[in-house]
Chain A
Amino acid sequence: MILEVNDLCVDYVSPQGTARAVDTVNFSLDAGEFLSIVGESGCGKSTLLFSIAQLLSPPAELVGGSVIFKGENLVTLDKNSLRAVRWRDLSVVMQSAMNALNPVLTIRAQFVDVMHAHGQKDDEESDKRFAEVLRLVGIDAVHLRSYAHQLSGGMRQRVMIAMALLLSPDLIIMDEPTSALDVVAQRSLMVQIKELQEKLGFAVIFVTHDISLVSNFSDKLIVMYAGSVVEDGPTREIFEHPSHPYTQGLLSAFPSIRGPKVRLKGIPGSPPSLTQLPAGCPFHPRCAYAMESCSTVRPPVTPVGDVKVRCLLFENAEVHVGSD
């Protein structure tokens, strides 16, 4: 096991009240595994990523739980030790490569920055390494001399991934790396990430709002709603037998380009504000299966086969055990 997240809680503190963006999240990740985190905007998925990488800044505050990465609790680690871990063992690919790359430095200068930060010299060896990681993502080494504005959106995103690979980390965290790309570029980037992952053996945490994007790539899937994990399990199983009503709704909210044309319903209502969460299950006002107890009882995590679900429908157990 390379990463273990236990009872992680993150609050945003504001004069209007405290919003819990990440609410007692638990999961673990093995070396070389591909984990996807899916949810709508404001469900806390990016906050969860930031808290794993210890990149939270006020008003966000980590109020409880631990992040055990390769045996060390990142939450209690001091600044300097964290600095050493980041990028060497764990790197992050941010959402918009336009803003993540420095516009006034060449790509090479930014690669050199990474090397310097980890006490490595800038010599011929490193130039070889730069060319090698760029080749891995399908970019010609001449672009080491390019500036960000000279590259297309897809290429910038690839450069970000190349930079994340520089020190051969064990875990790469990706926050919606494809959201700024069109479908064709999106597919080729996904295929490339998957190939690199299989070749180099790093683990991936991939955050996206598009559940159909990750179905073919990830081993494990986490579905988040209003700060909590509502469903967690093997990707294929969740796609074939979605248990939580929210997951079912998400999966049926995508029109398909194949098969018969049917009128879809989507999910009624809109996601709640984190400062005014409904009591009980946060999804109950939008849920078609809501029962009386849903508005008072916060559902516990219930195992359904290999999948863990936070829904009262499954509380009374084995009857529902779904797959096969």
Chain B
Amino acid sequence: MDQIETESASEPILSIRNLSHHFPIGRKIRRAQLHAVDDINLDLYQGEIVALVGESGSGKSTLARLLARVYRPTSGEILFEGRNIARIRSRRDLLSYRSKIPLIFQDPFSSLNPVHSVGHGLLRTLKLHRPELSREERRDTAIATLESVGLSPASEVLNCYPYELSGGQRQRIGFAQAISCNPRLILADEPVSMLDVSVRIGLLNLMTDLRNSGISMLYITHDIASARYVADRLVVMYAGNIVETGPTESVLGNPTHPYTRLLLSAVPDPMVAIKATAGDIGDPPRVIDPGEGCRFRWRCPLAMEICSVVTPPLLPVSEGHAAACHVTVRSVSENL
């Protein structure tokens, strides 16, 4: 496996191996495949936050849904504790998998049922995933969980309806539901993008606190600044491929793929004047039957002939840091 993971000798919680997901589009005459996720390798370890960064349409949410087993992969496999999750057949095993790898949604305004109280959803989650608990234990666990995500007084929040809560509080309920079942890895799909800026930081801090208590997280976002704020590792996706991956500071300090560089230069910074550069205005990447070659080549200022012929593999840049580019990682690749 050319994936480089050096930081932990322990077993990964989730291993993603050559994972692809293609959506069939069109009718019989013009059938095509939309390559939403293509040939992804990634390991997720205990106690780390991995940020998955990319523009809309880059396949990051599709990847989260594959991991939550909402979609089934076209090819490749996802190993949870060494077991391929596509092979999970029984309802009990699937429930247990979903309680270990819960998913938090982007929109806290539509992901909570408006006609049920907060307690209803939370207690039901516990009843479903932890049947060993008695009624009183469920209630105690629910209260303890709400306190731990910063919602107090918890016994009152339990009886609240979603409309009584602000966006930030609702998203904390999402986190409470996820952590009530002692998960190993939380899939958080843009958990703060719908929230007001003044409450975002509070949730990001909650995420780091949860990480410090041993829960891993896959943080999906298009906001690279918040990714830097919470994440230990950064994975940059473009058009269904991973184009760069590595420890956060290493990727931000030495961005190697031209797309990562473009992304970083576009982050608004009040202290630095903004310049437009070539590659800003580009067609969206072709993900319908893309064929061989680098998918960034139409927007890339450094593109060469080889870029339209050979898909660049992920090659090491420094320890734990890899990028998929023929031009910028070239010197390294020639040595291999």
Q: Which residues of chain A have a CB within 8 Å of any CB of chain B?
A: 40-41, 138, 152-154, 182-188, 190-192, 209-213, 215-217, 239, 249-251, 253-258, 261, 263-268, 270-271
Contact = CB atoms under 8 A, between A and B. Distances in A.
Interface in B252-295: 252, 262-264, 266-276, 280-281, 283-284
B200 A271 contact: no
A271 B229 contact: no
Contacts of B24: none
A253 B270 contact: no
Contacts of A271: 166, 196, 198
Contact of B205 (A186, A187, A254, A263): A263
B263 A40 contact: no
A216 B199 contact: no
28 contacts: A40-B196, A40-B198, A138-B281, A182-B222, A183-B55, A183-B263, A183-B267, A183-B268, A186-B268, A187-B276, A187-B280, A188-B281, A190-B274, A191-B274, A191-B280, A209-B196, A209-B197, A251-B270, A253-B200, A254-B197, A255-B204, A261-B228, A263-B205, A266-B201, A267-B198, A267-B199, A270-B167, A270-B199
Given A183-B222, A253-B197, A212 B266 contact: no
Interface residues of B, number: 41
Interface in B101-132: none
A186 B272 CA distance: 16
Nearest to A43: B196
B32 interface: no
B168 interface: yes
B266 A257 contact: no
A41 to B, nearest CB: 6
B214 interface: no
A152 B57 CA distance: 11
Nearest to A158: B281
A258 B269 CA distance: 9
Given A182-B222, A184-B266, A209-B196, 14 more contacts: A40-B196, A40-B198, A184-B263, A185-B55, A188-B280, A209-B197, A212-B270, A215-B268, A216-B268, A253-B200, A255-B229, A257-B225, A270-B198, A270-B199
B224 interface: yes
Nearest to B249: A261
Given A253-B197, A253-B201, A255-B229, A182 B270 contact: no
Nearest to B54: A182
Interface string B152-181: 000000000000001111000000000000
Nearest to A272: B166
B225 A255 contact: yes
Contacts of B196: 40-41, 209, 270-271
B200 to A, nearest CB: 7
B269 A256 contact: yes
A256 B281 CA distance: 25
Nearest to B252: A257
Contacts of B148: none
Nearest to B58: A182
A250 B276 contact: no
B56 interface: yes
Contacts of A255: 201, 204, 225-226, 228-229
Contact of B273 (A138, A216, A258, A267): A216
Nearest to A262: B229
Contacts of A239: 270
A261 B229 contact: yes
A36 to B, nearest CB: 12
A257 B270 contact: no
A182 B281 CA distance: 12
B202 interface: yes
Contacts of B226: 255
A183 B19 CA distance: 27
Nearest to B196: A40
A125 to B, nearest CB: 28
Contacts of A40: 196-198
Residue of B55, B225, B268 with most chain A CB atoms under a 10 A cut-off: B268
A263 B169 CA distance: 21
Contacts of B200: 253, 266
Contacts of A152: 283-284
A186 B266 contact: yes
A266 B202 contact: yes
Contact of A184 (B205, B272, B273, B280): B280
Contacts of B169: 270
Max count, chain A CB within 10 A of own CB: residue among B252, B272, B280: B280
Contacts of B276: 187-188, 191-192
Contacts of A256: 225, 269
A268 B152 CA distance: 14
B273 A270 contact: no
A263 B284 CA distance: 36
Contacts of B198: 40, 249-250, 253, 266-267, 270-271
Contacts of B224: 183, 257
A275 to B, nearest CB: 13
Interface in B316-330: none
A187 B278 CA distance: 12
A86 B12 CA distance: 61
Interface in B199-250: 199-202, 204-205, 222-226, 228-229
Contacts of B267: 183, 257
A192 B280 CA distance: 11
